[in-house]
Amino acid sequence: MKMTRLEKRFVNRRKKAERNIQKVRQRLQELDTDTIRDVLEIGCGIGIVSAFLADTYEMNVQGTDFDPEQIEMARKMLPESERLHFSVEDAARLSFEDASFDLVVSQNVFHHIPDWEAAVREVVRVLRPGGYFMWLDLGFPGWVKKSFRPFAKNIGLYTFDEIKAAFAACGLQQRFYERMRHGPFTHHHMVLQTK
State pLDDT tens for residues 129-159.
999 999 999 887 777 767 766 666 677 878 8
The overall longest dimension of the chain from CA atoms, in Å, is: 47
SS3 assignment for 149-172: CCCCCCCCCCCHHHHHHHHHHCCC
Let me know: does 63 contact 31? Beta carbons within 8 Å: no
More confident of the two residues 152 and 61: 61
pLDDT of residue 59: 98
176 backbone dihedrals φ, ψ, rounded to 5°: -150, 145
Over range 167-195, report the average pLDDT: 90
The predicted pLDDT at position 17 comes to 85
- Please state the domain count of the chain: 1
Cβ atoms of 49 and 104 closer than 8 Å: no
Is there a contact between 86 and 113 (Cβ–Cβ < 8 Å)? no
- Average pLDDT over the chain, rounded to whole? 90
First to last CA, the chain: 31
Domain of residue 187, residue span: 5-193
Q: Which helix (H) or strand (E) holds 119?
A: helix 116-126
Residue 178 confidence (pLDDT): 93
Pairing of strands 127-138, 185-193: antiparallel
What average pLDDT does this structure show over 57-72? 96
Query: Is the overall model pTM greater than 0.75, yes or no?
Result: yes
Neighbours of 1 (CB within 10 A): 14
- Kindly report the CATH number assigned to the domain that includes residue 45: 3.40.50.150
Assess whether pLDDT exceeds 90 at residue 40.
Answer: yes
pLDDT of res. 25 = 96
Phi-psi region of 134 (alpha: psi -120 to 50; beta: other; left: phi over 0): beta
Q: What is the CA angle 134-123-183, rounded to 5?
A: 40
Number of H helices and number of E strands within the chain?
Answer: 7, 7
Contact 64, 43 (CB under 8 A): yes
